[in-house]
Structure 1
Amino acid sequence: MKYKQIIISTIYETITQIGMSSLSKDEVGKKLEVPPKQVMGDYAFPCFVLAKELKKAPAQIAQELSFLINNEYIERVEVVGPYLNFFLEKQKAGNEVVMKVLNEKDNSGKLSIGNHKKVTIDLSSPNIAKPFSMGHLRSTVIGNSLANIMEKCGYTSIRINHLGDWGTQFGKLITAYKTWGDEDRVKQEPIKELLSLYIRFHEEVEHTPEFEDNGRSWFKRLEDGDKEALSLWKWFREESLNEFERIYNLMDIEFDSFNGEAFYNDKMDAVVKELETKSLLSESEGAMVFSLDEYDLPPCLIKKSDGATLYATRDLAAALYRKKEYNFSKALYVVGGEQSLHFKQVFHVLNKLGYEWSKDMHHIPFGMMLKDGKKMSTRKGKVVLLEEVLQEAIKLAAQNIELRNPNFDEKEAVAKMVGVGAVIFHDLKNYRLNDVEFSLKEMLTFEGETGPYVQYTHARACSILRKAKRKETSTDSIDAYKDEKAWTVISLLMKFEEVIKQAYDQFDPSQIAKYTIDLAQAFNKYYGSVRILEEDENQNARIQIVEAVTIVLKEGLRLLGIKAPEQM
């Protein structure tokens, strides 16, 4: 970002020098562009914005300004119609960029925005007694990547897995288990068998409606603390957590809290009481609601006519608990876009209660994982199990490694890195609000814009470094950075910090995923056109470029939650 700021400051100082007073430095920055092609320069400034005040044609203004631009980091300025195209001084800037990456290593791109403040991130949140499906992948990997990005920007991330471990579905499951369940079969394959029972309940209820009443009855017993109901519920929860833990370990994702919906059962009455005390509730058809008419939103349901609390009540209690427990400066909820209204309501209720910190709470919506163009449904049995996909990806990665490098000693460990990385990268390279069509074939393609392609590029660069015989040669008077393909690589290295800032501002890991693809592609073109290990006065500089690429690719992948093997 340093060089962009240098260009902005130079333009601002120059237009001030010619009497231009209405354009601020921030406005200059907003107008600055990156040309579509490298040969057109590193940055471009359109002079249209200056025409009205200076009462001159933009092309004339560009021509006049070009003679006044002067900075040691600017090699030259070219006038293209109304545009000023800036070319950075490659030797000076290139050497600084590469040496900065090498000196900072894992801290490359680090920002201090957060100043060690805490951010809670609600992510993953699968329902217990149901399998961990591909439908849960998005919240899990987007949330984990955002946690990494927030940490990179100076925050302390608190990963919260708000488990779906309460609700009428458990009454339905208990009913199904009591009707058709077999304890031994559940013990052998708990999640598979519980899913089968859950699906069967919904099939049977279409023919036997009273099953629905039985489900509600068992959930009422669970709420009332019935011993048998609680025992079954705890068993289902324990088996589910064991299953989930195995999958999280596979993806190397850890959590600071597994407090789910049930954890807040004894914390909701206080929320209802506070709302009543502040006269913020009204009655509607027997239910207690919080009016949001002033925001043009439907009322937020707080308590049903039968006295039962709802998701909103639970999330209000959770927000208050987390603020007290963690004193967060930001709270992120990585939950599907279909819950947007729910979170708008919850945040507005907290604000009306007088909690100013509610303005620092953000719903991070994302699109759906589709199968054949339709949402996956556990209830209808249309589900693809995430663990099966991960294992299939690892198996395919192992086969590819065997073909490429049969004598490689670490096939198993690297196959896990590559297979899991392929699945995660396939999700995160998509802008989070877009739906993602599940395609095992596309996900496991090891060429093109994929995780394995970026990982392989990193491994290739590491291989070059292992072969390199470095010399103590100064890089001050060499021209390795002037090579067009080398400069493309350096230009991308220079933008790493800016990309991280954009990903942070927009809560968008795809910015980093796309960046790693661009860097990998640029490096491979450089590698294919230059004899990196040729022993001449530029060898050291070329090796340093390679090393800088390995550092940034590894860190970019880490921010996505993906490992970077050094050999493949």
Structure 2
Amino acid sequence: MAACRFRRSIAAQLSRVLEVPSENLVKSISAVPVSKKRQSGDFQFFVSSVLNANSNNYSRSDIQLQTERLAEKLKCDTVVKEISTGEGTVNFTIDRELLVKTVLQHVFEDGSQYGIRSELFSKLPKRKILVEFSSPNIAKKFHVGHLRSTIIGNFIANLNEAIGHQVTRINYLGDWGMQFGLLGAGFQWFGSEEKLKSNPLQHLFEVYVQVNKASAEDENIKKLAQDFFRKLEAREEQEVSLWQHFRDVSIEEYVQIYKRLGVCFDEYSGESFYQEKCQEVLKMLDRKGFLKKTEEGTGIVYLSEKGDPCTVMRSDGTSLYLTRDLAAAIDRMNKYNPDTMIYVTDKSQTPHFQQMFQILKLLGYEWMERCQHVPFGRVQGMKTRKGEVVFLEDVLDEACSMVLEKRASSKTTKEVDNTLETIERIGLAALIIQDFRGLLSSDYQFSWERVLQSRGDTGVFIQYTHARLHSLEEVCGTVSQVSHINTTFLQDPQAISLIQHLLRYDEVLYQSSQDLQPKHIVSYLLTLSHLAAAAHKMLPVKGSVPELAERQKKRDTERQHAGRNPHSDENYQLCMWLARICLFQAVRSVLANGMKLLGITPVNKM
């Protein structure tokens, strides 16, 4: 990784002056973010990181004085060409040709591992990570509320896999509980086998709405539902058969949705699998003296002396969502022994996971420290133009429909081989970038108009940038080796800005890996796209790589035979265009890598 080489070189010089091991300094050296103002350097070292006492004990003027003194003791060398100071930082400017050549070489050599093959990750131990995400409710259409869990969980799994961790993706289906008592009883009253075959989840949704309404008016239906679920937990054949049918048709439809989203799982499990194991958890709680019973027979656990009780069992002995989650956690730890077990759900479930982790601790499971809940906020205002209740399929269809309309009205639209596939990828990119731009735990207001803009900070713009750069490669060809490129032709401000931004990629990935927030990568890719657009306008390229190379070779030979300087004006243009092609190729490669981590498949034409 290019940044690593420069960080090590700077750290070595700082180490000699500060008398601190260089490995202790590396993480305090970071690439300077590209800004519209004149860059103060390529890297900055935060002086507060090495002050003997806590930096809070130092005033700003004290820190600045230390900064100035340190900068005076440092010297430029073959790598660092300029040293300056900022507010509490010593800034280092790298030799321009060395900077460009090193960054491009590493992008080309590392390929999909660029940014990952960094010292920021090399010392991290490889771990086993289990990610539970998506988890829709069986016998219900895939609600848009599950979209966030699905794409966030997919991102977390993608990023950890890229880093080199062993990741297991689990879809924990909501396939058990009293709602199945309602649905089972309701299907006997309102169900139709014919409608179940033609449109299974839509029909089950309709049945569930009907029986819910009916149960609110008739206590007998509530009793029938309770009786159905009791028989289901007792594994009676007729009830289990109907439940299994609901489960099978649901998964069949979900698989098609996941295919559209580009998401896959290593394991489909569900609450039903842990129905029997729940009894073991209840026995364990009882043995350890934590399980108490109310007068009605409900099983409760007190998490603290003054706290409210936590319900773990119904009065009829049937299990609850919490009990099944406890059984699932224990089973997964025994089966996979993960170093980290991540649950991706909306933030309304935070109290549930707090209770769950506390009960695991009461039971003596120290590994509960390895469990982590990643909460996310709600999406507000996500409706189709018809204004109906939104299911995920409707949202995906709406995104495709609107992209198709925009393509039809655009003058720059190109013919593509798989139009529907391309449209789906553009629409999904638009949804993902909109979702990932902010802090995951924040709610946000959804807007179709903003999501599908072709300019600005949108997924459509990122896809457009990738397609434009790919088109450049189709017209001009690709460079196979950076060693043939004359990097003196990449000293324009636009080219240097792109190189400086590429330099930061490993730090951005590291930041996202630490807090599991995709917004860092989204912001990086949007900036990269804007910088690429500006550079593409100011740094034109003409001719294909083979044509340019052949013309360059022929011109050099002719001029050398004539005893003249081979660096003619035309030869100058040829070298410059080849260098620019190389730069844009590197940008497209990193852009594609980042998109894939987010769960976006890059398109080559738009």
TM-score normalised to structure 1 length: 0.88
Cα contact 1:271–1:313 (8 A) shared by 2: yes
* Structure 1 residues 153-200: Cα deviation after superposition (integer angstroms, max 9, x where no partner): 111211111000111111111222222222212222221121122122
Query: Among 76, 84, 99, which residue is 1:78 paired with?
Result: 84
1:394-473 aligned at under 5 Å gives the runs 394-402=400-408, 403=410, 404-468=412-476
Query: What is the alpha-carbon root mean square deviation over aligned residues?
Result: 3.3
Cα contact 1:123–1:143 (8 A) shared by 2: yes
Distance 1:235 1:442, change over 3 A: farther
Query: Among 49, 52, 64, which residue is 2:69 paired with?
Result: 64
Residue 96 of structure 2: aligned partner? 90
Cα contact 2:103–2:499 (8 A) shared by 1: yes
Distance 1:122 1:462, change over 3 A: same
Amino acid at match of 1:39: Q
1:190-339 aligned at under 5 Å gives the runs 190-285=200-295, 286-293=297-304, 298-339=308-349
Q: SS where residue 558 of structure 1 aligns?
A: helix
Counterpart Cα distance in 2 of 1:4 and 1:293: 53
Cα contact 1:300–1:312 (8 A) shared by 2: no
Counterpart Cα distance in 2 of 1:553 and 1:420: 16
Query: Among 168, 172, 182, which residue is 1:158 paired with?
Result: 168
After superposing the two structures, state which structure 1 stretch, 342-351 or 80-89, moved more: 80-89
Q: SS where residue 302 of structure 1 aligns?
A: strand
Counterpart Cα distance in 2 of 1:112 and 1:406: 42
Cα contact 2:15–2:25 (8 A) shared by 1: no
Cα contact 1:268–1:313 (8 A) shared by 2: yes
Counterpart Cα distance in 1 of 2:32 and 2:400: 42
Superposed displacement of residue 27, structure 1: 10
Q: SS where residue 259 of structure 1 aligns?
A: strand
Distance 1:341 1:81, change over 3 A: closer
TM-score normalised to structure 2 length: 0.83
Cα contact 1:473–1:540 (8 A) shared by 2: no
Unaligned runs of 5+ in 2: 544-572
1:94-173 aligned at under 5 Å gives the runs 94-110=100-116, 111-112=121-122, 116-173=126-183
How many correspondences in the alignment?
558
Counterpart Cα distance in 1 of 2:31 and 2:39: 17
Residue 502 of structure 1: aligned partner? 511
Residue 42 of structure 1: aligned partner? 42
Superposed displacement of residue 298, structure 1: 4.4
Residue 7 of structure 2: aligned partner? 5
| Superposition misfits of 4+ residues, deviation over 6 angstroms | 21-24, 30-33, 51-56, 470-473
What percent of counterpart residues are identical? Answer: 30
Distance 1:196 1:88, change over 3 A: same
Distance 1:38 1:292, change over 3 A: farther
Q: SS where residue 173 of structure 2 aligns?
A: coil
Cα contact 1:129–1:191 (8 A) shared by 2: yes
* Structure 1 residues 454-494: Cα deviation after superposition (integer angstroms, max 9, x where no partner): 11111111121222267888568642343222122112211
* Structure 1 residues 212-270: Cα deviation after superposition (integer angstroms, max 9, x where no partner): 33322222222223333222212211121111111111112111111111011121222
Cα contact 2:30–2:43 (8 A) shared by 1: no
Counterpart Cα distance in 1 of 2:430 and 2:203: 29
Counterpart Cα distance in 2 of 1:173 and 1:537: 71
Counterpart Cα distance in 1 of 2:145 and 2:421: 26
Q: SS where residue 167 of structure 2 aligns?
A: strand
Q: SS where residue 39 of structure 1 aligns?
A: coil
Amino acid at match of 1:466: E
Residue 370 of structure 1: aligned partner? 380
Counterpart Cα distance in 1 of 2:309 and 2:123: 36
Superposed displacement of residue 82, structure 1: 6.0
Counterpart Cα distance in 2 of 1:204 and 1:461: 58
Residue 545 of structure 1: aligned partner? 583
Residue 554 of structure 1: aligned partner? 592
After superposing the two structures, state which structure 1 stretch, 159-168 or 522-531, moved more: 522-531
Residue 557 of structure 2: aligned partner? none
